[in-house]
Each structure stands twice: as structure tokens, then as C-alpha cells.
Structure 1
Amino acid sequence: MGTSSTGLNPPAGLATDLSPPLEAWSCGYCGKDSFCAQGLMAHKLSVHDYQLLLNKGWVRSGKYLYKAAMPITCCPTYTMRCHVLDFRISRSQRRVLKKMRKHLTRVDAIMKETAVEDTTSHIHTCRKTKESRRELLKSPERGQQAELEPAESELVGLTEHKVPGQEPAPSQGPQPSLSQISMSAVHPSPISHPLHSTSAPSRTRSLEELLEESTPATAQHQLEVKLLRLSPPSPELQATFGESYKVYKRYQMHVHKDTELMASEAEYRRFFCSTPLLGEDPADGPDTGYGSFIEQFLLDGKIIALGLLDILPEGINSQYLCYDPDYSSLSLGVYSALREIALTQRLNEKVPRMKYYYLGPYVHSCVKVKYKLLYQPTELLCPVTGHWVSVEQCLPKLELNKFAKLYDGDEPAADSSLSSEGLWFLRNFREALSPSSSASVQTEEAMLVVSQEDLVSIRSSSLSSWWKHFPCLGRLLRCCCCCCCCGSWCRKEAES
């Protein structure tokens, strides 16, 4: 079970700010109890603030926000996004669309899985620590790890590591770099046409057209996709809660090997159905509005998959996907990602700023997330400078070091209106505990776990002295670390 280091005190002379404390818990990527991050529970959060936090390396899991301590954590997580306007569909992704069309046009398309589990099922055995909110690190995020093997031919060279002392076999001519090998494997050059061919080149079809072809209106079976708002919850989402939870439970228990307790209804509500993001519907925003949504995939009226996503000012942030294991052969993780990329492209027509599809954290040493490299062009967030860098430039550096400065320059990226993560933390904390017109502020919704008596006393106090009635705030500020990388002190304390 992961351990927490919230009782730390910074060394003398070390300037402190209001950042959340550094903690360590069980890692969902490698299984070790050494994932180090800053984390906090968010009461409510605007989509604009979360967009800025996302671009600083923060991740949302339910109402819990965390940011990996990149230099010292066991598995550095790099924020990853795809440029949807330049998206290039791969061969394996095209095969997924063809497979969906074939399934929908079949007369006997009711799935009856009888095959033995895939030989790569060991990928799913990553266990999450029990009885800890730190288990919010559900990894990988989209349920696509089971679909990695069919696309392995497009990821040749990504997981190869040179054995020390082993020299490569001699070859003729200059050898391509690792990044060239990796990315050319993902998107190989097209085969040239015969010299005497007189046929006119075919027009490249858009992703939207390919998706429409995969779900013909005259098909024997119909696939319907519904986008339902999570906060405030859509009435239809509430009406289908029981059916949705059954899909989630089956997925967690069959794919991730969770126990019934780990896949409980309470866990589903906390992880899948809770969000701090406030829904917004500005006149100049997308037709869907901003906020958190659940995407329901229905086959002939039956829910077979659920996607969790955030629609933000700069695009769509993919959170998680679960599906009915009986339909695993449809590669629903890949299919849903393609639909979300197409949705981002459509929303961009009205809101030009929305041009990114966030794929969640990328961990180079974890084979479970290699599938994300199939969505091109992508870039990673440099944890040192804050610049976005194309994945082709990042791969060689990540082969050498799991934590690396990805941007070659020294100048930091231009900061946004969120002047300080620490100031945001204090502002959100104060808002969660201050008197509110809403009576929905519960203990678990506050920034920290506090007693109900504390909340009552805070609400009856004046704002000028609110902090005096909350003794744990003083302890919190004393144990806050000044930044994600505090050098050897943080490393020593986190290990303890």
C-alpha cells in the first residue's frame, strides 16, 4: 500500500508556497509503491482554470487532482496531446473502422466471445492499492492496452533497449535514428504507384467520412453514441445509471482483475461520475458546451461502452474508457478515440482554439500506453520549460533517461493567466470552506478531509478570520513543499 508523506517539514531556509504537499503511493504503471506527486481534492473548478492546470502537467481523476514529481517519481508522466487538424489515421486504426462496419452489417452480430484471453492479458494485471484515494491513478486510461498487439507492427523500435556491451551488427550505409525508426514504423511511407499506371489518385477521405462509412444507416444493427453532461448530471445519465455501472463493473473485474470491493458502486461514483468542473455554455463556445461528459455507446439500444471526457477551451481531454468484455473484439478503445478526435475537429469549426486531443499521461517505460503513439501528430509537455515538443524529438531522449528535459532551449514557455498554482490552491480551498448559497458542500467535497464540525464553524465565521477556526490549515501550510523537485531532501523524505 502506498504511503503518504504529508507530515513533512521543509528544511530551514527553504522558501515555502501554497502548493499541495508531496505524497507517495502505489503506482498504477509499474506496481511499485514509489509514485510521487502533489495531490489535492478539488471542490469546484472552472474549465478555464483546469485547461491551464492541464497545460502545466496536472491530471484529474474524479475530483482528485495530482501532478507527478517528475525528477523523483518511479514513472514520470508526460502530458500528451494530438493536433487533430493534422491527424493521420494509421493502418491499424482503419482496420478497426472496417471491423466495426463488418460487425454492424452482419446478420448474427450478437457477440459471443469464446476465445481464450489474449496472450497479452498480463498487461491488465496491474493492481491498484486498496482503501486509498491514491488509486485514482487508473492506468492506462482508455482500455486500449488490450488492443496493443494488433498494432505492434506499427510500433517496432519503440520498446527496444540496447544491451550494455552489445554491439550492433555491421550494416551497409548510414543507419536511421531511433526516432526515425519509431515514427516511420507508426506511419510508413506509402507504396508508390506503378510507373505505367494511368489511374487518377483517389481523394483522401476525412476521418468523419471514414466514421460514417463504418456505421451505415442501412446496417442490420445500429450503433448510437450519446454525449451526456456529467455536471449537472443529465436526466438520461441518471436514468441509465444502473446499466452503466454494470458495464464498468464487468470491465474492471474482467480486464483489470479488480475485486468486487474495488469495482463497487461507490468507487464508480467517485471515479467515473464525480467531477469538479463546472459546466459552461457560452455563446461563443462549442455546441456541446464545456465541462465533463460521459459518452455512451449503444448497440441496438444496449450500452456496450462508456467514455469519460472533458470538453475544454483548447480541445477534448480523454479521461477513461470502459467496455463490456463481450465486445472486446471490436477494439472499442481505438474506435472511441477516433470518434473523439473527429468530434474535436468538428468543434474546431466554430471554436478555432479547440484543436487538441489530450491523450492523458504518457509513460515511456510502460508498454501499456504505447498505443498513444499511434495517434499522430502528437507532442509532449516538457516538464522543465513548459514547452510542447513533438514526440519525434522526445523519443531519443526518453530512451536515455526516464526523466528528461524535452525542450532544447532554456527560455520558459509564456505563462498564462493562472499566475500561480499555489494561489489557485488557496483560492479553491477558501471557496470550498466559505459560506455558500448552496447546501451541497459536504466533507468529502472540501479541499481536505475535515470534520463536519469544522465546516459548520467555518460557515458561521466571518471571512476575515476563517482560517483561525481551521487548525489543520496551519499544519498543512507547514508541511507544504515548495515545488515538485526539492532536490535530495524531497527524495530522502519521499522514500521514508
Structure 2
Amino acid sequence: MADGSTGTPTPDGAAVPYSHIFPIGFSYYAVATSLTPSFYQKLVDRCWRRSGTLLYRPNQKNSCCPHYTLRLDATGFRPTKDQRQAVNRFNKFVVGEAYSKETARACPRSREEIRKRDNEFDLVARISEAEFASLKPPPLPEHNLVVTLEPDTFTEEKYEVFENYQRLVHKEPADKISRNGFNRFLCSSPLTRETITGDDGKEKKLGSFHQCYRLDGKLVAMGVLDLLPHCVSAVYFMYHESIRQHNPGKLGALREIALALDAGYRWWYSGFYIHSCPKMRYKVDYSPQYVLDPETLEWDMLDKEALAIFDKKPYVSLSMERRQRALEQEREAEEPPTSNHGEGDEAPAVEGDGGSISPGGDEEAFLFHSNMPGIPSLEEMRQVNMDNLLLRSDYSNECFLASQLVVWDTESIGEYGNLKSRIAELVAAIGPDLVSEYCVDFRRKSRM
């Protein structure tokens, strides 16, 4: 676990940093009362995301709009011409023509510097080039741009940008926008905040932050970010409609990629990707992009070949596609030359292709009767030792072991709805290998 987290009393009296999670209703939803950044990093690498304190892992097989986890390697990112132009145009707007001319006269660049600038686009340097702290006045720039990374606390200034963005950009009704909603989902993160030193010797902030963009002293945009040991995870981005013409969404994405590169996080997670949603297709404009396979929880390059598969099928597991092709090639190689393929021939069944039949009734919500990819089966979960899993309740100030529950030895994880089966569902959804890193928190007071 990451250092600096709040310790939790354990049965032997030792203080250990655990993440606290409460399973709710449908098996792949949970509420986090506290999360260490290192633990949440593992969750996002297993198809999980958060909205405020709500954690969720979607069932891609059982959705009309499957959600896939994407990440971009900032070390290999090369901005497109359109992305470079967006940065350059905004920088020119900020500094103004008078500043550009005076600076060019007072500090002229050599031919070699001009050639290098034209041929090489240093994202980290260029994205912050127009910030007031990077300029050398006099003269003064036409606008004062300041970008800061701040704690994810609620302020009226932030809410005003949120309200404007939801109402004028997202066209959301005014009665659906509230300070409580903004604070709940974008300001009340369960992530603990800490600082670590990376392998490159740089200090990295971990936790949830607001990246605030102020133009001439006014907050005009804000990115909600989860900074994790190995990534900058984008939660939300909003801007005031007054700067809409400057491509703020594109500028925000590029700055977050620059942060991942400059601070040593390496990866930029842009949030869930829905291939059938046109508004999300912009995410593939940033490359090299990788997609998380729901079946194997491994990363695959999201290249043209992969996107072509996404175009054809509602649910995609690239590992399953590779197995399918291998079986088809093996089948063709084994068939005699005189064999004639008819239109009625069916492709061989592939492991993981299609879900199990639901028993119906209330048990349709039971994780072990679902077709959710990447989840251990009921038989596999029977082999998992959950006795030492930590639990908390309103009846004790300390954690206790699952094996200390009165009903633990009498209940079966295969009986839908009982306490042990609910715990087993959460363990399966998170991953049995992480069972020692979190506490199942049943305290009602902690979720109020």
C-alpha cells in the first residue's frame, strides 16, 4: 500500500493503511469511504472508475453501450497538426500581438532556434509557454494566464464555472444543477492525498486535485484529476462558455498529457470510452492509445485494426478475437481440400464468448450468475480464502475478521443475498488477489 495513508485499527492492534469499501445492490457497484491512490490505481486497471465516492465496474457484455478503459502513453505521444495549432493559437491569443513583436525584437531567435521550433513540438514547454510565470515582461502580455493544481475542495468560484458549463454547454436544465451535486461528485473524493518520490527522483502528488485555469484573474476552466502512482486519471473537465472558441477541451487534454509526461506519471487515462458514442470518438485522436481487455485485464493497442473490430461488434475482447482467429485457422488447416463451406456453417465456440444463462427472478443480479467478463466463477471463488478479510461495522470501533462473523461458517457464497455471498461478489469484482488490501466497510455513519 502507498505510504502516508490513514491507518486502520486491526485485530492485532497494528495500524495498517487500508481502503474502505462498501458493497451495494448490484454486485459491481460499491461505495468507497476512503481509498489509497495505489489501491485505486489497481482498480482502474481492472475496469473500475469512480463518480464521487461511488465505484463502479461495468458489465461490457450486458450493455447496449459497452464502456472500455483507455490509457495513453505520454512518453510516446506526438501531437497532431490540429492539436499543435490549437496550442499555438491559444498562446498567441494570451500574449497578444504587441508582446510577440516586442519580444521578437528584444530577444530574437537564431535561425537554428527557429528551425528547431518549427520542426520539434515540445508539448511540456509549449503548453505552458503563455503562462504568466513563463513570460519575461516587459512588455506585459495582453492576458494573464495562470494554471494551478489545487486540492479538490468546493468553492463558489468553481461552482460558477460548473453551473455555466452544465447549463450552456451541456444544455442541462437549471433545476438539475446544484451545489450539492457538484460538491458530491467532483469535490468529495475518497482518495487520500500524499506525496511520493518517483523512480526518476521527482516528487509526485497523489490524490484528487482540481487543475484550475485563470485568465485575467477569473477562473475559466477546471480539470478534475485523480493523480495515481502511474497515471493522471481524468475525472471531468469543464469550462466557461466565454472561452469556447479556444478549444478548451483539447487544450485541457493536452495539458493533462503534459502533466503525465513532465511529472513522471507516464500514463493519461481519459475515462471510459464508448465506441458507439460520437461524442467520445475524440479520445482516439490522442495516440498511442491502449484499451483494457475485459476478459484478460491486459492492455492492447487501439490501432486501426482494433477499431475496425469495434466498428463491427457491440462487445469486443481483443484476446477473444485472437483466439477466434487461431481456432478458425486451425480448423481450416485440418479440413480436407474437398470440403465445401456452406452459409450455415457456424464458427466454433470460444471460451468466454457469450454469457451463462440467468436463473431468472431476483437472482438475475447475482454476479456469479451473470456473464460479466473478467470475473472468477463461483467454483473458483469457493477456493478463495476470505477468512482474514477485514470488516467494519457501526457496532465496533475496530476492524474484525470475516471469520469472526457468527454466520460465516454456516452461510454459503452460492446462496444469493446472504452476507457471505455479498462479500464474495465484492471480492470477485475487485479481484481475489487484492483481498488483503481493503476493508469491507458496513458502517452506515461513514456513508452519510
Report the TM range for the smaller structure's normalisation.
0.5 to 0.7
Structure 1 residue 22: Cα displacement: 6.8
CA deviation after TM superposition for structure 1 residue 205, in Å: 2.6
Query: Does the 8 Å CA contact 1:43/1:428 hold for their aligned counterparts?
Result: no
Counterpart of 1:101?
Answer: 91
Change in CA separation of 1:71 and 1:209 when aligned onto 2, cut-off 3 Å? same
Cα offset, 1:94, TM superposition: 1.6
Question: Counterpart of 1:450?
Answer: none
CA distance 1:208–1:73, shift in 2 (3 Å): same
Aligned match for 1:378, one of 278, 281, 289: 289
Partner of 2:49: 59
Tell me how far apart the structure 1 counterparts of residues 297 and 143 of structure 2 sit (CA, whole Å). Answer: 47
- For residues 223 and 72 of structure 1, do their structure 2 counterparts lie closer, same or farther at Cα, with a shift above 3 Å needed? same
State the distance in 2 between where 1:288 and 1:425 align.
Answer: 34
SS of 1:219's equivalent in the other structure is coil
Could you tell me how far apart the structure 1 residues matched to 2:400 and 2:252 are? 49
* Aligned match for 1:430, one of 373, 383, 391: 391
SS at match of 1:42: strand
Indicate the structure with greater strand content. 2
What's the CA shift for 1:337?
Answer: 1.2
Secondary structure, aligned partner of 2:28 = strand
Equivalent residue runs for 1:166-315 within 5 Å: 203-215=119-131, 217=135, 218-230=140-152, 237=153, 241-284=155-198, 286-315=202-231
**2:300 match:** 389
Q: In 2, are the aligned partners of 1:58 and 1:67 still within 8 Å (CA)?
A: yes
1:207-246 deviation per Cα after TM superposition (whole angstroms, max 9, x unaligned): 123224454724211111110123xxxxxx56xx011111
Q: For 1:52, what is the secondary structure of its paired residue?
A: helix
Residues of 1 paired with 2:91 and 2:164: CA distance? 25
SS of structure 1 residue aligned to 2:89:
helix
The residue identity in structure 1 corresponding to 2:391 is: R
TM value normalised by structure 1: 0.57
Cα RMSD, aligned residues only: 3.9
**AA of the residue aligned to 1:69:** N
Contact 2:24–2:31 (8 Å) recurs in 1 = no
Q: Give 1:270 deviation, angstroms.
A: 0.5
Does the 8 A contact of 1:80 with 1:378 survive in 2? Answer: yes
Q: CA–CA distance in 1 between the matches of 2:146 and 2:171?
A: 29
Cα distance in 2 for partners of 1:426, 1:42 equals 21
Distance 1:477 1:70, change over 3 A: farther
Q: Read off the aligned partner of 1:406 and give its amino acid letter.
A: L
What secondary structure does 2:195 align onto?
A: coil
Cα distance in 2, alignment partners of residues 308 and 53 from structure 1: 18
Work out the CA distance in 1 between the residues paired with 2:169 and 2:309.
32
C-alpha distance in 2 between matches for 1:362 and 1:355 = 20
| 1:398 Cα deviation from its structure 2 partner | 0.7
Counterpart amino acid of residue 397 in structure 1? I
> Which structure: larger Rg?
2
Partner Cα distance (2:172, 2:385) in 1: 35
Task: Give 1:219's aligned amino acid.
Answer: P
Query: Alignment partner for residue 401 of structure 1, among 309, 313, 323?
Result: 313
Q: Identify the match of residue 240 of structure 2 among 324, 329, 333.
A: 324
2:251 to 335, 341, 347: 335
**Contact 1:251/1:323 (<8 A) preserved:** yes
- Aligned in 2, Cα 1:373/1:478: closer, same or farther, shift over 3 Å? same
The range that moved more, 214-223 or 266-275, is 214-223
Q: CA deviation at 1:459?
A: 3.9
Q: Is the 8 A contact 2:22 2:31 kept in 1?
A: no
- Shift in Å, 1:266: 0.6
AA matched with 2:235: Q
Alignment partner of 2:261 out of 337, 345, 348:
345
Residues 288, 225 of structure 1: alpha-carbon distance in 2 compared, 3 angstrom cutoff = farther
Amino acid at match of 1:44: S
Instruction: Give, in whole Å, the separation in 1 of the partners of 2:95 and 2:399.
Output: 65
Q: Percent identity?
A: 29
Aligned-residue offset at 1:374: 1.1
Q: Secondary structure at the match of 1:369?
A: helix
Taking a change above 3 Å as real, the CA distance of residues 314 and 106 of structure 1, as seen in their structure-2 partners, is: same
Which among 74, 79, 90 is matched to residue 80 of structure 2?
90
User: Distance between the aligned counterparts of 1:262 and 1:426, measured in 2?
Assistant: 44
Residues 59-114 of structure 1: CA distance to partner in whole angstroms, max 9, x if unpaired?
11111110111111121111001110010101221221122123213489xxxxxx
Task: Tell me the distance in 2 between the aligned counterparts of 1:385 and 1:403.
Answer: 14
| Change in CA separation of 1:426 and 1:213 when aligned onto 2, cut-off 3 Å | farther
Measure the CA separation in 2 of the matches of 1:402 and 1:38: 21
Residue 71 of structure 1 corresponds to which residue in structure 2?
Answer: 61
3-state secondary structure, aligned to 2:318:
coil
Q: Offset of 1:361 from its aligned partner? A: 0.7
For the 8 Å contact 1:98–1:214, the answer to whether it is kept is: no
Tell me the distance in 2 between the aligned counterparts of 1:214 and 1:301.
15
Deviation at 1:467, TM superposition (A): 5.2
Contact 2:387 2:403 in 1 (8 A): no
Q: 1:99 to 1:476 in 2, by over 3 A?
A: farther
The code of the aligned residue for 1:96 comes to A
In structure 2, what residue type is equivalent to 1:248?
Answer: F
In 2 relative to 1, CA 223–399 (structure 1 residues): closer, same or farther, beyond 3 Å?
same
Q: Please tell me whether the aligned partners of residues 151 and 209 of structure 2 are also in contact (alpha carbons under 8 angstroms).
A: yes
User: Normalization by structure 2: what TM-score?
Assistant: 0.63
**CA–CA distance in 2 between the matches of 1:44 and 1:223?**
35
